[in-house]
Amino acid sequence: MMDLFALSTAINKTIIEAGKLVRSYHGNIKQSQIESKSTHDFVTEIDKKTERYLVEKLNRIIPEASFLTEEKTVEETTSSNWRFIIDPIDGTTNFIHGLFPVTLSVALQYKNETVVAAVYEIGANELFYAIRNKGAFLNGFPISVSSETSLEKSLLATGFPFKNYDRLNAYMKSFEYLMFHTSGLRRLGSAAADLVYVACGRMDGFYEYGLNPWDVAGGAFIVLEAGGQISDFSGRNNWLFGGEIVASNGRIHPEFLTALQKTLSPN
């Protein structure tokens, strides 16, 4: 296998450069640059431009790698052991409205297992990254999940369903339950940011459904390397392609899952 430290360094440099591109457009998006993929689901010219930039630069790092990307600027192939999973802008609605967080996410897999990941939040200029079995870092300093053991004292993050409303009633019940049984809920508008904030202990847990692999691949790996736990709503491991995710510091995970299962039925 290639040197993971060298790969991480190269990926980090690439995502920061791409982040500078995104930052230069933040708050300056014209209506003509915005497309609607579906109801409440937007993409900008900058999403596509950033994705093309990332694909081009990452392809130079591992020429044989395949890509799984949000905006489909490159066709996915299955012939390589290496695969990049890319979200060029996670938090596009925030980006359009001049809000933060806005993140870029890259996960590198080897034989379908993530080995390196990076998430860059452009507002605070924060680079979160992780290397398999070597831990997680924020701007070069080691990070770890929180030590909170009680769900009641935990601060949680979530996302609002914006395309798939099939489970909306149950999801609203989960909001109500957790509002009464935690320290609070936050909705930041970027799943990648939610995940890395769990990784560094700012949040104790996060849950959401209706997500795609590029939304969660990088951030979830960083949570795991920071000592946290990841599952789907049923407690199993089908979170990357299963459309639902629960992340936590690990200490509250059983109680967190129990609370969710009071209101949410697994797929």
pTM value is 0.93
What is the token pair recorded at 265? 């039925």
Which residues in the chain are classed under CATH 3.40.190.80?
151-261
Amino acid at 30: K
Nearest to 95 by CA among 184, 26, 18: 26
Q: Which residues of the chain are in CATH 3.30.540.10 domains?
A: 4-143
Q: Under DSSP, is residue 69 helix (H, G, I), strand (E, B) or coil? A: strand
Is 4-143 a CATH 3.30.540.10 domain?
Answer: yes
Q: What tokens appear for 69 in the block?
A: 């990307």
CA–CA separation, 261 and 200 (whole Å): 26
- Helix (H) and strand (E) counts in the chain: 7, 14
Q: Which architecture characterizes domain 151-261 according to CATH? A: 3-Layer(aba) Sandwich (3.40)
Per-residue pLDDT tens for 93-124? 899 889 999 999 999 999 999 999 999 999 99
pLDDT tens over the chain, length 267 residues: 689 999 999 999 999 999 999 998 887 776 666 665 544 445 678 888 999 999 999 999 999 999 999 888 777 766 789 999 999 999 988 998 899 999 999 999 999 999 999 999 999 999 999 999 999 999 999 999 999 999 999 999 999 875 666 777 888 889 999 999 999 999 999 999 999 999 999 999 999 998 999 999 999 999 999 999 999 999 999 999 999 999 999 999 999 999 999 888 544
What are the strands of the beta sheet with 141-143, ordered from one edge? 66-69, 82-90, 103-110, 113-121, 126-131, 135-138, 141-143
